[in-house]
Copies of this chain bind each other. A is one copy, B any other.
């Protein structure tokens, strides 16, 4: 079979295990499983989103509109930009990443990303023949190693990904670092992608940069604060010229009809958004405080809806610990597959305070048994 060389070199795909399988294997009820593995909003979706979906159920036999202008307008207003500076993706931010590659990447181009950071940039960029070049995220003080990025910039660099707050470490890229990188990248026309998937939990963002910097692309998702991970909606913000180019190759119908209405009506539900942020931050602070009481843990301070925890001192790998937690009905993220982390890190998403307490109880019991 004449598949591309790059596909031949990729690892075979192994799907994650379904909730049903996990529940069955460990004799758990599916509804009792506490999901702290995927950085979702644990309080459920907006009621307005749900009722807007219900209103459209009888017309799901019809294609979505190709004109997403109402949604773009609402995103623009939420973000403080113009509609022409917005692009909407139909597979969360993942489709946006794919369109970035389709718009900019020629085979052999390099993109820079610090490690550890979100691994999916690489998964989506590699099929386009892009070459990942790694900078460094300092785990000691949870900051970007600025020089590790700047020193990697060369003629082949086409894009830089900065995730802020950074997944999985939870801290922001400082405004100063961003400005420093911007000064170098703008003249070289390197696209600086700032992934703000979790920005609401930090109450800081960099969207103002798109007005004066033609090379800045802000990427966001509705899978977190907006409670719509299952509906796969993401968006990007940039100067209108870049957005216009990206629209030329974006698939026209990739956002489902129900996703469109769910996104539009969640954006209009200001009370829901406000509460999601407030409760999210409360839960994070509670979790951080409680986890910090356990001396053997290396708990990283977070501006996001998850906390990275180093567990080396406990003397158990992340793989084994997450397995033990799963047996008790708690799913956390074993971070072994994150490049730039060793096998002793887990990432715990915020739950409701009740879920946090249950998790802490189970977690404490497990580590005191080791």
Q: Which residues of A are interface residues toward B (Cβ below 8 A)?
A: 1-4, 7-8, 10-13, 15-19, 21, 35, 38, 40-45, 49-50, 53-54, 56-69, 90-92, 94-95, 98, 102-107, 124, 127, 158, 189, 214-215, 223, 227-232, 241-242, 244-245, 247-259, 262
Contact = CB atoms under 8 A, between A and B. Distances in A.
A269 to B, nearest CB: 13
Contacts of A2: 104, 158, 189
A53 B65 CA distance: 20
Contacts of A19: 65
Given A12-B244, A90-B90, 6 more contacts: A1-B241, A3-B103, A45-B60, A53-B57, A62-B229, A231-B257
A49 B42 CA distance: 26
A234 to B, nearest CB: 11
Contact of A256 (B11, B230, B252): B230
Contacts of A59: 44, 230
Given A53-B53, A256-B231, A249 B44 contact: no
Contacts of A3: 103-104, 245
A95 B44 CA distance: 28
A10 B249 contact: yes
A149 to B, nearest CB: 19
Residue of A44, A62, A104 contacting most chain B CB atoms (<10 Å): A62
Contacts of A104: 2-4
A63 B253 contact: no
A103 B248 contact: no
Contacts of A15: 65-69, 252
Q: How many copies does the complex hold?
A: 2
Contacts of A38: 62-63
B35 A62 contact: yes
A94 B253 contact: yes
A182 B177 CA distance: 58
A104 B242 CA distance: 28
A251 B4 contact: no
30 contacts: A10-B249, A12-B247, A13-B248, A15-B69, A16-B65, A18-B65, A18-B69, A19-B65, A40-B63, A43-B61, A45-B57, A45-B58, A45-B60, A53-B53, A53-B57, A54-B54, A60-B229, A60-B231, A62-B230, A63-B230, A64-B232, A90-B90, A90-B91, A91-B253, A95-B254, A230-B258, A231-B258, A232-B253, A232-B256, A256-B258
Contacts of A95: 251, 254
The 4 closest A-B pairs by CB, nearest first: A230-B257, A61-B227, A15-B67, A60-B230
Contact of A228 (B35, B61, B228): B61
Nearest to A92: B253
Contacts of A4: 102-106
A107 B129 CA distance: 11
A349 to B, nearest CB: 11
Contact of A18 (B41, B60, B67, B248): B67
Contacts of A61: 40-45, 227-230
